[in-house]
């Protein structure tokens, strides 16, 4: 999982474990697709398959929401969409600021998926004076000198950092001092934040490195198979292989298996 640091306990309010919270968006994505096709009900097995989660785990997760489904009928799709959206806080609009409007920040600003999920891009902020006033995805870029004013006027609690790594901590400190309490960090650096501030980190290069690890492993298995059963019978005596976790990060946002976790240490 992908966080630089979060300062929340493993169990959230109303006793919902963090791991369940992390799977709720997967259920919501699958349910939204069903809703768009006007599917009225769904069984736990069908929904689990669509979300890429084990069905027993899904039933347990839904029990935290007080949703048990109806035997022989399944779950009501629309009601579950509402329940999960409410639990995730998506029944309200969340203004978001993006800081650093370069290649990545501009792409994020133009991403339609935020608005459809209840996240409104309230402001785009960049330190380059040449960008001030220029529209990106229809929103004029504002100068970072005004960061504090923008945050307080728009009541922004979520900030996205897409600046170079070297200034990310400084940007983070300013966002937090201005009142931001949740940060999505794309810069390849670990951020330090005070208690009460959540940081989630996205690093696509880590995802690629983990895929490279699996590719290497598959290639090793194929060459062992080509060498014949003797090679397979005498594996390398390594006890465990540590998956790559470069550049001081503590995790990734991606998921490997159906349960949404990438193990830090994988059996050889």
Ligand X SMILES: NC(=O)c1ccc[n+]([C@@H]2O[C@H](COP(=O)([O-])OP(=O)(O)OC[C@H]3O[C@@H](n4cnc5c(N)ncnc54)[C@H](O)[C@@H]3O)[C@@H](O)[C@H]2O)c1
Least distance in Å: CB of 149 to ligand X?
Answer: 15
Whether the Cβ atoms of residue 109 and residue 99 lie closer than 8 Å to each other: no
Q: Is 183 in the site for ligand X (CB under 6 A)?
A: no
Report the alpha-carbon distance of residue 180 to residue 247 in Å, rounded: 25
**Residue (of 1, 4, 18, 2) closest to 193 by Cα position:** 4
The interface mask with ligand X, positions 117-136, x = CB under 6 A, is: --------xxxx--------
Q: Is 49 in the site for ligand X (CB under 6 A)?
A: no
**Residue (of 143, 124, 123) closest to 132 by Cα position:** 143
Pick the stretch among 52-60, 196-204, 223-231, 238-246 that binds ligand X (CB under 6 A): 196-204
Nearer to ligand X, 85 or 144 (CB): 144
Q: Is 163 in the site for ligand X (CB under 6 A)?
A: yes
Report the alpha-carbon distance of residue 244 to residue 208 in Å, rounded: 10
Nearer to ligand X, 23 or 201 (CB): 201
Q: Quick check: helix, strand or coil at residue 1?
A: coil
CB 20: neighbour CB atoms within 10 A?
21
Locate 59 and state its tokens. 């039933």
Question: Total residues contacting ligand X (rule CB under 6 A)?
Answer: 24
Q: Is 186 in the site for ligand X (CB under 6 A)?
A: yes
Pick the stretch among 10-18, 66-74, 159-167, 237-245 that binds ligand X (CB under 6 A): 159-167
């Amino acid at each position: 999982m992908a966080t630089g640091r979060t300062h929340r306990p493993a169990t959230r309010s109303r006793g919902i474990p963090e791991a369940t919270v992390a799977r709720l968006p997967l259920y919501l994505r699958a349910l939204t697709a069903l809703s768009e096709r006007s599917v009225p009900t769904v069984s736990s097995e069908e929904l689990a398959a669509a979300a890429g989660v084990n069905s027993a785990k899904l039933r347990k997760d839904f029990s935290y929401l007080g949703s048990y489904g109806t035997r022989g009928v399944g779950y009501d799709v629309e009601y579950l969409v509402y329940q999960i959206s409410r639990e995730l806080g998506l029944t309200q609009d969340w203004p978001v600021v993006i800081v650093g409007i370069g290649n990545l920040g501009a792409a994020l600003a133009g991403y339609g998926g935020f608005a459809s999920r209840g996240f409104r891009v309230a402001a785009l902020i960049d330190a380059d004076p040449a960008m001030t006033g220029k529209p990106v995805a229809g929103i004029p870029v504002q100068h970072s000198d005004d960061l504090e004013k923008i945050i307080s006027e728009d009541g922004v609690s979520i900030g996205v950092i897409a600046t170079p790594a070297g200034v990310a901590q400084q940007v983070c400190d300013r966002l937090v001092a201005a009142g931001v309490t949740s940060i999505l960090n794309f810069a390849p650096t670990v951020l330090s934040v005070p208690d009460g501030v959540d940081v989630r980190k996205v690093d696509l290069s880590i995802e690629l490195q983990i895929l490279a690890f699996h590719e290497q492993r598959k290639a090793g298995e194929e060459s062992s198979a080509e060498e014949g059963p003797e090679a397979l019978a005498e594996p390398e005596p390594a006890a465990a292989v540590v998956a790559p976790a470069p550049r001081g990060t503590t995790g990734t946002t991606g998921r490997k298996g159906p349960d949404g976790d990438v193990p830090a240490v994988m059996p050889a």
